[in-house]
Amino acid sequence: MCAHQAMPLEATPTLEVAVGGTESNVAIALARLGHRSAWVSRLPANPIGRRIARDVAAHGVDVSHVIWADAAEKAGLYFIEFGAAPRPDRVLYERRDSAIARLEADGLDAAFLASGRTLHLTGITPALGPGCRAAWLASAQAARAAGRRVTLDVNFRAKLWTPESARAALEAIFPHVDVLFSGLRDLALLFGVPAEPEAAARTVAAAWRLPLVVVTLGAEGALAYEHASGRLLREPVFPTQVQDRIGSGDAFAAGFLHGSGLGSDGGAAGDLARGLRCGNALAALKQTTLGDTSWATRAELDELLRGAPADPRRVSR
Amino acid sequence: MCAHQAMPLEATPTLEVAVGGTESNVAIALARLGHRSAWVSRLPANPIGRRIARDVAAHGVDVSHVIWADAAEKAGLYFIEFGAAPRPDRVLYERRDSAIARLEADGLDAAFLASGRTLHLTGITPALGPGCRAAWLASAQAARAAGRRVTLDVNFRAKLWTPESARAALEAIFPHVDVLFSGLRDLALLFGVPAEPEAAARTVAAAWRLPLVVVTLGAEGALAYEHASGRLLREPVFPTQVQDRIGSGDAFAAGFLHGSGLGSDGGAAGDLARGLRCGNALAALKQTTLGDTSWATRAELDELLRGAPADPRRVSR
Amino acid sequence: MCAHQAMPLEATPTLEVAVGGTESNVAIALARLGHRSAWVSRLPANPIGRRIARDVAAHGVDVSHVIWADAAEKAGLYFIEFGAAPRPDRVLYERRDSAIARLEADGLDAAFLASGRTLHLTGITPALGPGCRAAWLASAQAARAAGRRVTLDVNFRAKLWTPESARAALEAIFPHVDVLFSGLRDLALLFGVPAEPEAAARTVAAAWRLPLVVVTLGAEGALAYEHASGRLLREPVFPTQVQDRIGSGDAFAAGFLHGSGLGSDGGAAGDLARGLRCGNALAALKQTTLGDTSWATRAELDELLRGAPADPRRVSR
Amino acid sequence: MCAHQAMPLEATPTLEVAVGGTESNVAIALARLGHRSAWVSRLPANPIGRRIARDVAAHGVDVSHVIWADAAEKAGLYFIEFGAAPRPDRVLYERRDSAIARLEADGLDAAFLASGRTLHLTGITPALGPGCRAAWLASAQAARAAGRRVTLDVNFRAKLWTPESARAALEAIFPHVDVLFSGLRDLALLFGVPAEPEAAARTVAAAWRLPLVVVTLGAEGALAYEHASGRLLREPVFPTQVQDRIGSGDAFAAGFLHGSGLGSDGGAAGDLARGLRCGNALAALKQTTLGDTSWATRAELDELLRGAPADPRRVSR
Amino acid sequence: MCAHQAMPLEATPTLEVAVGGTESNVAIALARLGHRSAWVSRLPANPIGRRIARDVAAHGVDVSHVIWADAAEKAGLYFIEFGAAPRPDRVLYERRDSAIARLEADGLDAAFLASGRTLHLTGITPALGPGCRAAWLASAQAARAAGRRVTLDVNFRAKLWTPESARAALEAIFPHVDVLFSGLRDLALLFGVPAEPEAAARTVAAAWRLPLVVVTLGAEGALAYEHASGRLLREPVFPTQVQDRIGSGDAFAAGFLHGSGLGSDGGAAGDLARGLRCGNALAALKQTTLGDTSWATRAELDELLRGAPADPRRVSR
Amino acid sequence: MCAHQAMPLEATPTLEVAVGGTESNVAIALARLGHRSAWVSRLPANPIGRRIARDVAAHGVDVSHVIWADAAEKAGLYFIEFGAAPRPDRVLYERRDSAIARLEADGLDAAFLASGRTLHLTGITPALGPGCRAAWLASAQAARAAGRRVTLDVNFRAKLWTPESARAALEAIFPHVDVLFSGLRDLALLFGVPAEPEAAARTVAAAWRLPLVVVTLGAEGALAYEHASGRLLREPVFPTQVQDRIGSGDAFAAGFLHGSGLGSDGGAAGDLARGLRCGNALAALKQTTLGDTSWATRAELDELLRGAPADPRRVSR
């Protein structure tokens, strides 16, 4: 739920209702680009839980494996106050004790999680509780055992746990990870690697034998480092009139998976340059709309990649 | 799209965007009660077409067989002005030349249409054009040939065609129909049957050998007449604070299919009394919300059927 | 400007902006029924003044003789809080020292005012100040001198002046008045006539030799008394789901002028029964929408007079 | 936070933000009638906590003794879906683990609580946790020890605890209570007293030696039973166009305290009939606005008690 | 109708209703600057048609010659999704088969069209159908025959017709045109003239003996070329915080007609420099508001031309 | 009341209701930073007057000494139209004859005004009428006589009075003033001092023996000149994405009083550099929200002064 723009959360007469969350953001963004995707979570069987599932399903994401908890459980909530320099965006999360935080270690359907081509995870889940952490690790193991690709976005949240706890959890899952996404700052904070982007990517990939490390650099673009080949590519961002930054990291990950072919149903070995360009483009498009959701279609993404001019697009009949 | 309440369409500064249509209303209502349902239509591949498919899919309805027309085609639109006595509701339809009206005779996937337990059709489709009419008839034939149940809601629209044209189209499809839904007035207008409800149902069922005829009577409730057994049942409406009447006929049909077991995946031979009660209850609940959509869940329907009191329902944690 | 419904004015986060005023309400209502009408006032040449003129002109009312005052003058404002029983509607007026209140005695274009078939005045204008009162009286004299019909709606406002002052002003203008409109209570309060409606109308007509007296009786309908013939007719109201009562007296007057033929460009001698029915019908339709404005068209009025059923009206293409 | 009217919570694009809670509702209602009042709670020092305190303080309630918890704690939230018959209102509470639920036994400033003339408590507080229950009981003891009046509204919430637990908590506090407010159903449910209102009041008063028992009877009005004198009075409700029922019990309690003189700074021995009339009137006015808050002023209450007519109130200048 | 800003059309819960169209935009802009103007079109006699006429008339534009088609015809609609770089604005038009597209060759009142000082046409009308094209050409001939000035804005729409068709239609009307407005790109696309602005204007003017050619150059300003004198003037744009670009070309044309004296009732021979400055200024002001409409008054335009500072303007009383 | 953004006041369908005024803005800003503050004014006892007092009190400002005028008096109103370059913000004030303008010379409670540590006045009050001017001067005298600090913000409003009248009023109060706030332009306009900021401050301080002169310089920051010591300090503004400039001067004054210690309950001798930085920071934060109110808390101000990064602030649980 978001405050009206240019009104503090303390003052707003109404809140815009929107659904978001790092994993569902990625699933929606991929579904909108034409991929089959599914999202698994645990939600209360009440109007708020149904709203969340309904908004995710609307984009074509398979929500049939969402676990429905009792109506008296609660969905995780967050309240966003959009800032304007020098006033920052503020986000107030209420995830403690939410239905997903009560997930138990054996709560997920491992067979289903291992049935897709790629399993995408993030570093927020294990921070929500021990059951979440166990289920998260188990799902990566199951997917790997079934020969699937596992991708992971670090997404460190300092308010949920310490860097030390996060590092411990991540080190446990790294052996099962094919592609690691991270912001540069998180790498430095959690793993003590150099602040220089290329060195950071190389160091992390080497230390934990991660096949592919993709680092987002804010206004400096993004880079991908392939450990086996030593290939390192970097692509700049697209100039953007930012409306809402939240969710752009998830759009980047989805765009990268789409463009590189790694997330595709029939994806090939991985076009890293195209992955980075698609990631940057989808992140740019996401930032032009309010809310976590990436609304871009395949056609809009392709249009931006082709560098189409900024004139109004007119469709007439 | 709807005008603000208590503001004429001519005056409204904004329009509420909502998705509706008689067949999708039934599909959504059934999906929300826990049934598997799919909806087939033809939509333009533009934001408005995507919005429609997305809103239907959100409730769990399978939209994978929607036919996507060019972005420059148009979706059917309608504009509602909510009235207050003595000012009636007004609805302005723009369906001519819409993507669905351009459906061609062989445009539907007959195998898919015959793959469900029940195929639900309405009398609006054949009024949209010759292609629609041919595809509509062919789908009933295919479903029947595959041993499926075919249900049909008359829904005569005097602005789209004449009673004579409608009667001709309906007489062509009646041999393939298992359950006929109709308002009492339409029966009289199209088929010249008596205005007395029971006689009307009997006469229509006998004349066209329709196994089951279900007639809605407005404030007088609804009745079902089973031709083979001569059974005739009637159930009263639920007292309702009406917010928006549009869509209540569709909710009734869905409720009847649900309650009678005729629409159910594993439905039995048909509990007509429960069908009528469920139809009336779902229609009542629908009328308490704005928009065509029936938002009721299975739990809400059951609660109303049990006669639960009108106090606030509180869920606490 | 109006508070949101069901929110007290003290609490509302936003106000709906709407334009109203007893004379412009009548002019708009008549223009929407197909009559030529003009409205004369004095407005500040600032955005609020322009908004008022623009909203009146939109309906086809001629506003070319509005007098434009300096931008630093103010338009009359009012704030409405819609009630719900037992909480009454509340209206806070700010008319003192407004541009119209500063109208001077010779401020109006008498030739223009005498150029229409009928000059409609109300008893609010003379309460706003001595200049208003003088200009008001002069305009009636000029219209009469030019052979035009003069109609007057009493509209006594206890917060603006005393019954004694109002009576004095009205007695000065009565010799120039052809049709007097009044609520029953105002007649009793200002002129001490009997509370019984028919007696009240007769007494007032006789005492001031008013050719036609039309009395609105709230839920009891309305009556018209023609002094010369002694004819007295009464018509009941139309059952109405009231959304906003304010402006219904103005709609009644416009409907009466329309229906009786007295306000018509080519109107005949006066069909009082039809005048009362049209007045009641237009007042009923006005009460189904928010704001002072009567939005009814000629077609909607005729439909209601014919007693068309309450079903949704559908226009299809 | 409330869903838009006539939209299910599952569907609403925005939520109206409003502040409510049984004790603050009473404190606000009394402050608006001209009494000095204070409200004590525990709130997180974040925008949502500040919003709550600010909205209560706005009416003149002293919030200087609110306890400010860490910004990462949470305020109790609730989500209301307004119904329309036969669809009930639905309220989803999230109070578990909220800042107030974490109140500790010695967390309240007993001296402050005992500094007013009357301490008003409700039966919701002890249901939130053992710290709340202990602090609640201690505050009643402290107020009584200081010679203050203690009033208590039963407000049983079946979703928070069992009737048995509630009865145990209430029996512990009854020796310190001067005035007990309750709905009739709660008395029967918790204490097994007769369903007949007068007998219920007498039985409860006698069993726990409660000096005054006030019972609300829904559409049947309210009664007051004074144990010492055996006086029993009953007053009917005011006819009301209900917009929102929630908070009407709190408005009743505030109106009773005001009208009876029991809540007044300089209140006399207690005019029970006037207390009941004021309670019913304030409850009626509350129900005409959305949200928990009673917006009525002293002037509006007096106007209703005088039986002023339902015409618009106009204030002009 | 427009989507909420920063929300995709696919996602918006409401649409803002606004009226626009290239010819009515010019008529409104001129009326607001104090000129007499009229607008002729063909609209359905339903709430949407009335809304359009009402919004245009509100500004003082004479709509008395609008042709009213049957209520079941449709008004042209368009849906705007406002972009933010790199996401472009998107406009979805539905003009096919609209009431105006069904205009017949002899449908316009030639005497009325030839009664004003200047007849302004655009290149969109002939693209809507053969009747439109014939009526458009006939109106130019009639106005010229009556000694009126004819102005034409090219406004090529690639989605409505091909450059070849557009060129053919324009070549037919050029002999009757006094002033041609065009964007630079359209000139190059339709007529194959050089991309250099001055050469483009000269070439087009010479080839078709157009007395005055005015070319808008986006951020590069605008130029006017007078064929007889060979005078060529160019003026820069005003720096602008753009809110909505759509309609700025129409505002430019209106500003040019106003400033040059060519559109004025009593206009002199034509001050091209002032015309360009006024065109650029009005286009800049238009872009600061949402919707097609130019809201600028004569005073605001003059203030901008004088270079008044950017401080708030305060009007006090 | 404010128009919707990017909509002209003439066009807006709704107005946002907000409370503002230069003195209450300062009182609220200080209360939100943790200071005790009170605000004195004269308001009508009607919903609009109550709304104003309620919104000010909500932030913890003491409004117990507001003088309540009759309900038929009016509150000062203003209407804001937000601009976008080159269209300026426009503000339409209606203060004439408002309740505060009718304040009488002896209308204020001198003892209360002299009971705080600092009395803050502005140059708008004396422009509203002779009673206001007398009461204003008397309050400064009383506060000084009681040994309190008096601060004054010049705030010249050319639409309310002439520079000559303003200068006369200010010269009368200057002997009682400790701190003078002014924009640079006002100093030059009223007192004919040099346009160079430092010289202007020195000249004014010397001419009227003002102990401290603080001059705001728009984008050039602000300076403070201490007459006794000759100290002169200047601080730059904070880069800001401006949403609404109105009220930033008041936020500056409050920030200066807070930061310098001059406005603090227990403030020390005055840290001018910190005062300027806090003033600039609070003005920057105010400009990021709509409405006059400074919503910044002490924590947000301190965060900005520390130079915290622009990332979203996340609070999780």
| Tens-place pLDDT, residues E65-77 | 999 999 999 999 9
pLDDT reported for residue C310: 66
Q: Are B50 and A297 a contacting pair at CB < 8 A?
A: yes
pLDDT reported for residue B265: 46
pLDDT at residue C267 tops 60: no
F57 closest CB neighbour out of D46, D50, D60: D60
Q: Which residues of B touch A72 (CB under 8 A)?
A: 315-317
Could you report the predicted ipTM of this complex, rounded to two decimals?
Answer: 0.90
Half-sphere exposure of residue A62, counting CA atoms within 13 Å on the CB side? 11
A96 touches chain D (CB under 8 A): yes
Mutate to test the interface with E, among F87, F94, F165, F245 (most CBs of E within 10 A): F87
Q: Which residues of chain A have pLDDT under 50?
A: 265-268
CB C202 within 8 A of CB C214: no
Nearest CA distance, A171 vs chain D (angstrom): 28
F147 touches chain B (CB under 8 A): no
d(Cα C252, Cα B15) in Å, to the nearest integer? Answer: 30
Provide the chain C residues 6-35 that lie in CB contact (below 8 A) with chain A. 13-14
CB A34 within 8 A of CB A298: yes
Report, as an integer, the average pLDDT of B77-104. Answer: 90
Q: What is the 3-state secondary structure (H, E, C) of chain E?
A: CEECCCCCCCCCCEEECCCCCHHHHHHHHHHHCCCCCECCCEEECCHHHHHHHHHHHHCCCECCCCEEECCCCCCCEEEEECCECCECCEEEEECCCCCHHHCCCCCCCHHHHCCCCEEEEECCHHHHCHHHHHHHHHHHHHHHHCCCEEEEECCCCCCCCCHHHHHHHHHHHHHHCCEEEEEHHHHHHHHCCCCCHHHHHHHHHHHHCCCEEEEECHHHCEEEEECCCCCEEEECCCCCCCCCCCCHHHHHHHHHHHHHCCCCCCCCCCCHHHHHHHHHHHHHHHCCCCCCCCCCCHHHHHHHHCCCCCCCEEECC
Nearest CA distance, B105 vs chain E (angstrom): 24
Report, as an integer, the average pLDDT of C281-294. Answer: 94
Q: Which token pair is A146?
A: 């079934």
Q: Which residues of F touch A93 (CB under 8 A)?
A: 314-317
Among chain C residues, the shortest Cα distance to F74 is held by C94
Q: Which residues of E touch F85 (CB under 8 A)?
A: 239-241, 288, 310
pLDDT reported for residue B98: 92
Q: Which residues of E33-56 are buried (b: 16+ CB within 10 A; e: fewer)?
A: bebebbbbbbbbbbbbbbbbbbbb
A316 closest CB neighbour out of E11, E84, E95: E95
What percent of chain C has pLDDT above 70? 93
Q: Are D87 and B244 a contacting pair at CB < 8 A?
A: no
E164 touches chain B (CB under 8 A): no
CB A156 within 8 A of CB A125: no
Residues of B belonging to the active site: 250
Q: Which of E153, E178, E244, E250 is catalytic?
A: E250
Report, as an integer, the average pLDDT of C123-149. Answer: 94
pLDDT at residue B316 tops 80: no
Among chain E residues, the shortest Cα distance to C295 is held by E47
Among chain E residues, the shortest Cα distance to B44 is held by E92
- Return the partners of chain E (3 or more C-beta pairs < 8 Å): A, B, C, D, F
Nearest CA distance, C231 vs chain D (angstrom): 31
Q: Are B58 and A60 a contacting pair at CB < 8 A?
A: no
Size of the A and F interface in Cβ pairs below 8 Å: 77
- Residue E229 neighbours by CB under 8 Å, 6+ apart: none
Give the tens place of pLDDT for each residue, F74-87: 999 989 998 888 99
Give the tens place of pLDDT for each residue, B127-136: 999 999 999 9
Q: Are B312 and D95 a contacting pair at CB < 8 A?
A: no
Tell me which amino acid residue D143 is: A
pLDDT reported for residue D268: 45
Q: What is the three-class DSSP state of A14?
A: strand
Nearest CA distance, B96 vs chain D (angstrom): 30
pLDDT band at C2 (very low <50, low <70, confident <90, very high): low
d(Cα B71, Cα A60) in Å, to the nearest integer? Answer: 19
Q: Which of C250, C265, C292, C311 is catalytic?
A: C250
Among chain A residues, the shortest Cα distance to E156 is held by A314
Nearest CA distance, B273 vs chain D (angstrom): 20
Q: Which residues of E touch F158 (CB under 8 A)?
A: 314
D244 touches chain C (CB under 8 A): yes
pLDDT reported for residue B268: 45
pLDDT reported for residue F114: 86
pLDDT at residue C95 tops 70: yes
pLDDT higher at B247 or C1: B247
Give the tens place of pLDDT for each residue, F126-158: 999 999 999 999 999 999 999 999 999 999 998
pLDDT reported for residue F300: 95
State the maximum Cα–Cα separation within chain C, in Å, rounded to a whole number: 60
Nearest CA distance, E48 vs chain F (angstrom): 18
Pairing of strands A222-226, A232-235: antiparallel
- Return the partners of chain D (3 or more C-beta pairs < 8 Å): A, B, C, E, F
Range scoring the smallest mean pLDDT among A171-180, C199-208, D255-264, F184-193: D255-264
Q: Are B81 and E17 a contacting pair at CB < 8 A?
A: no
Q: Which residues of E touch F101 (CB under 8 A)?
A: none
Across chain B, what does the average pLDDT equal? 91
pLDDT at residue D309 tops 80: no
F92 closest CB neighbour out of C8, C48, C94: C48
pLDDT band at F250 (very low <50, low <70, confident <90, very high): very high
F54 touches chain C (CB under 8 A): yes
d(Cα D267, Cα F186) in Å, to the nearest integer? Answer: 55
pLDDT reported for residue E47: 94
Q: Which residues of chain E have pLDDT under 50?
A: 265-268
Across chain C, what does the average pLDDT equal? 91
pLDDT reported for residue C163: 96
Give the tens place of pLDDT for each residue, B102-122: 999 888 888 898 899 999 999
pLDDT higher at B68 or D265: B68
Among chain E residues, the shortest Cα distance to B71 is held by E92
Q: Which token pair is E133?
A: 């094209």
CB F190 within 8 A of CB F156: yes
Q: Are B86 and C240 a contacting pair at CB < 8 A?
A: yes
E90 touches chain A (CB under 8 A): yes
pLDDT at residue B269 tops 60: no
Q: Which residues of F touch C81 (CB under 8 A)?
A: 47
pLDDT reported for residue B176: 97
D74 touches chain B (CB under 8 A): no
- Residue C241 neighbours by CB under 8 Å, 6+ apart: B84, B85, C288
Q: Which residues of A touch B73 (CB under 8 A)?
A: 317
pLDDT band at F39 (very low <50, low <70, confident <90, very high): very high
Q: Are E316 and F160 a contacting pair at CB < 8 A?
A: yes
Termini Cα distance of chain E: 37
d(Cα E296, Cα E286) in Å, to the nearest integer? Answer: 7
- Residue A58 neighbours by CB under 8 Å, 6+ apart: B54, B55, B57, B58
Report, as an integer, the average pLDDT of F252-278. Answer: 82
Report, as an integer, the average pLDDT of F37-42. Answer: 96
D74 touches chain F (CB under 8 A): yes
Q: Taking Cα atoms as reference points, which of D12, D5, D33, D64 lies closest to residue D293?
A: D33
Nearest CA distance, F72 vs chain D (angstrom): 6
CB B35 within 8 A of CB B255: no
D13 closest CB neighbour out of A17, A47, A90: A17
Q: Are E317 and C59 a contacting pair at CB < 8 A?
A: no
C87 touches chain F (CB under 8 A): no
pLDDT reported for residue A106: 82
B85 closest CB neighbour out of C240, C281, C317: C240
Report, as an integer, the average pLDDT of C128-151. Answer: 94
Give the tens place of pLDDT for each residue, E284-306: 999 999 899 999 999 999 999 99
d(Cα E149, Cα E144) in Å, to the nearest integer? Answer: 7
Nearest CA distance, A260 vs chain B (angstrom): 26
Report, as an integer, the average pLDDT of F266-270. Answer: 50
Torsion of CA B227, B228, B229, B235, to 10 degrees: -30
D60 touches chain F (CB under 8 A): yes
D316 closest CB neighbour out of C6, C7, C157: C157
- Return the partners of chain F (3 or more C-beta pairs < 8 Å): A, B, C, D, E
Nearest CA distance, D13 vs chain E (angstrom): 7
D157 closest CB neighbour out of B243, B285, B316: B316
DSSP B117: S
pLDDT band at F6 (very low <50, low <70, confident <90, very high): low
